[in-house]
Chains A and B, each alone.
Chain A
Amino acid sequence: MTGERTHTVNPEDIKKEILAKYPPKVARKRAKQITPVTSDEKDGLQVGANVRTVPGIITQRGCCYAGCKGVIMGPTRDIINLTHGPIGCGFYSWLTRRNQTRPPSDDAENYMTYCFSTDMQDEDIVFGGEKKLKAAIQEAYDIFKPKAISIFSTCPVGLIGDDVHAAAREMKEKLGINIFGFSCEGYKGVSQSAGHHIANNTIFKHVVGLDDTVMDAKYKINLLGEYNIGGDGFIIDELLNKCGIELVSTFSGNSTVDQFANCHTADLNAVMCHRSINYVADMLETKYGIPWIKVSFTGPTSTINSLRKIAAYFEDQELIDRVEEVIAEEMIPVEAKIKEVKERCQGKTAMMFVGGSRAHHYQELFRDIGMKVLSAGYEFAHRDDYEGRHVIPDIKVDADSRNIEELTIEKDETRYNPRKTEEEMKALEEKGYPFKSYDGLIPEMNAGSLIIDDISHHETETLIAMYKPDIFCAGIKEKYAIQKHGIPMKQLHSYDTGGPYAVFKGAVNFFEEIDRMLNANIWQYLEAPWQKAPELSAKYVWE
């Protein structure tokens, strides 16, 4: 498999080696995004993030449109998602993420296997595409009678000046269903992160708060930033139910438009992926008075902490006890599996470059089976996802972020209803209860490791050559290049075809998967004896 591993590599040396290959300007830019963790004293470490990729340096990032349509809106099954643009953008975002959904019945609305596009042609580019867009909306309505239609703008649309919002308004009035548009042209922002923001803002503006029905449940929460990849959302949901906690809505795994409309009636927001959705949590708090906490259901320890956090928020002994019961029960198979797998995985090393939260959340799973994370980084995160929320006021707003709309939110006059009084909140905080708090990825990193934001090919190669990891986690775009080195590669965006990996059950799956990958026979066949020493085996035959 991999060669001799040297644990004594100095991350500073790797950084130097990486930067040496770049021309000075690029090197200066990249230097800010590469942060060695040299000791356990990590205060003040900075990671430059959410800055534009240099043209010609191949990035794994997608575009704003991809973040908006694919990531955030993709998992909602009953909104017709209509791409306004030429065919490619819509085609490539057609069910390519593994977000799962469970419609209540076979003939319930589910448009996820569909790909709708205005498929713009020459004349639309020249004369404008609004007419075609409106006709498309009309037709989608005539055929499917959906509850809602949303329109996604691709790059050319922004340029020819089609007003998708005006078209949406007009058709909404005409058809009497909810229709809204996203100005998510691919050139906006620096990565899919811009698209997450635009998607969430639009949902907040056009859907949230439309339905005031209050669910009949004692502990009602929203789960924000969980996209049900590989069925993660299903088992989180199951676990919460087992504890007696109900989800009003999930943003946006296995979701429906009605859930969004109703989400302001929940009593707590639990944020999974901080990057993609923390601002929705903020807006829900400002407008409706729902507090939020950061949770993670990746890894048993985080799951336990998150369940306890939720229970502690409701301050109800019955729930607190129930949660402990569930934890005790669920941990039995997890502990057994750890014991089994650890033997074979102990001491091995991993790297992960993915997304805006998983490079943090998944570290725990590797630690649990005795593995060490040598290097990690995000694809589209911002500084607060590395350094923690306390840096938010210091983050410079550059041209790329400035053109993404920030909503100004105020208290809802009639529906603002603080779920806890100021005193109650304070009392909880004094007990150490962490409202609105996220410390980011840095605290997870070991001394001797390296953080790299928006990693490039060249950087990946250098890392592999110098650290020689036993397993590498990223996405499909990196997968086959990594495997060419004989290093197993786990996709942490789509989970390959595996998953779920969330909560206790998922952890067991994940441990099994890593064990299989690290200890599979296949790697030993890469080289036949005659390939290793051709002269030798030739000699053997002829002598």
Chain B
Amino acid sequence: MTPSRSHKTTPSYTPTQNACKMCTPLGATLVFQGIEGCVPLLHGSQGCSTYMRRYLISHFKEPVDIASSNFTEETAVFGGGANLKLAIENVARQYSPEMIGIATTCLSETIGDDVPLILNSMGNAIDGTALVHVSTPSYTGTHVDGFHGAVAAVVDRFNPAGKKIVYRPKKKKKINLFPGMLSNEDLRHLKDVFADFHVPVTILPDYSERLEGPSWQEYQAIQKGGTPVSAIEKMNVAVHSMELGSVLGLMAEKGTQTAGTILSKRFGIPCTRLPIPIGVKATDRFLDALSQISGRPVPERYKKEKWRLVDAYVDGNKYVSKKRALIYGEEDFVVSMAGFLAEVGIIPVICASGGKSKTFNQALEAILPETLIDQIVIQNDMDFTCMEETAAGMPENLRPQIIIGNSKGYAMARRLKIPLVRVGFPIHDRVGGSRILHIGYKGAQQLFDNIVNTILTARQTESRVGYSYM
């Protein structure tokens, strides 16, 4: 059933219908999954943990544990300090973790529990386990804010100001990479790239193994994999940091504290900020930057990947040229995706995100050719209902022909009768969501093939003849 709400480009109404964002601590708990031996703990009622576990599990199809401090009604009234301590003790005893990552929920934030104070009183550690806290009220941000907030909190904790740099290795120069919220396959690809460059790297977070691990010979309380705390502690001796995400970069410029800014302010480590490398141009930039930072040439195989990709762009051009797309998801993801679509000739007529960094437009303007910007509706702080209305309200010759985004847009795509290409997070109505490669030439190759084939499928289905030959 289609609601008859007038078509607006920004939501001016009160409730959020079919949100295009998740809540803040979800992002933080995902980061904690990407640290070796880390157990995430949500300070609040158990429901939040259960919901977020369920959500992450349905995407990754792997075990995901998130502990809770399990508020009662009394705790909610009198404060959750005692519960938090008890929860920390119990987690420490059961898991003997390297670190417990503590994120707040709306409840503990509303009460105003002073978590840093509570943790301080415990010496910020328990039996050698580091306690790291990130404040994540959902009424002030989205899962993306929780994600970056947690990365910054972890870096901050293990690289305190004034930490003496004992030794900055001259030979094995290391780079810090803060990739943002990417898929497992993306993270694996990044590791391959650095390995091919022969450049040592610390990627934070890296959940690619923990959230896609082998079967167990014996029980693993915490699945293997993730960035070791010992590596995070050494981030201050790296020669360079890289942070991916256009919006994140703009936010950092405007003063938001990110992992990269912490390390540059405290230890003078330069930070290169780049868009997520989706598509040829963004990948060119990424590899180029890496080559310059490391002083090493781009390995041969990437040149070959690029040739193949550009060749495919040429072959497939007639199917995608001037096609119109609706894309949605995290702001940084949408920005890079828009850049990629523009380069293959698809017009991203609607670029939407539930985020509201206020830099979304600016980031898109920076990545898209000027001629395209006027043809595009940019929507931040957006929900699926408004997106759908915007699309449905467009004249036939401007309306999107393909939708690109996570599983949450399915109902919209179905009602609009426009094919959906699933990318990003969460993907819970298909298998392999975490194995989608978005980045690098190879990722662009897969995206491109997938998009062209989706368009071809639609054409074939609509065709009366049912061509079996393109």
Instruction: Show the binding face of A for B, using Cβ within 8 Å.
Output: 21, 23, 26, 52-66, 82, 85-94, 96, 106-110, 113-122, 124-125, 132, 135-136, 139-140, 143-144, 154-156, 158-160, 185-188, 399-400, 403, 457-458, 461, 465, 476-477, 479-481, 483-486, 526
Contacts and interface: CB of A to CB of B under 8 A. Distances in A.
B377 interface: no
14 contacts: A23-B93, A54-B90, A55-B84, A56-B91, A63-B47, A94-B18, A96-B55, A115-B17, A118-B15, A120-B139, A139-B13, A186-B48, A187-B71, A400-B72
A187 B50 contact: no
Contacts of B93: 23
Given A63-B47, A154-B106, A125 B139 contact: yes
Given A86-B139, A124-B139, A136 B15 contact: yes
A399 B94 CA distance: 28
A107 B1 contact: yes
A78 to B, nearest CB: 11
B119 interface: no
A87 B71 CA distance: 20
A56 B15 contact: no
Contacts of B366: none
Given A114-B17, A476-B57, A155 B65 contact: no
A119 B50 contact: no
A321 B111 CA distance: 63
B216 A143 contact: no
Contacts of B51: 62, 66, 88-89, 92-93
Listed from nearest, the 3 A-B pairs whose CB atoms lie closest are: A63-B47, A88-B23, A56-B90
A139 B87 contact: no
Interface string B8-23: 0000011111110111
Interface range on chain B: under 10, 10 to 19, 20 to 34, or 35 or more? 35 or more
Interface in B135-175: 137-140, 142
Given A58-B66, A86-B139, A187 B45 contact: yes
Nearest to A138: B14
B177 interface: no
A87 B138 contact: yes
B23 A86 contact: yes
A39 B68 CA distance: 37
Contacts of A485: 215-216, 219
A66 B65 contact: no
B444 interface: no
A154 B76 CA distance: 12
Nearest to B354: A87
Nearest to A160: B110
Contacts of A61: 46, 50
Contact of A87 (B16, B45, B57, B107): B16
Contacts of A113: 411
Contacts of A481: 63
Contacts of B254: none
Contact of B75 (A89, A108, A187): A187
Residue among A52, A82, A484 having the largest count of chain B Cβ atoms under 10 Å: A484
A186 B107 contact: yes
Contacts of A403: 73
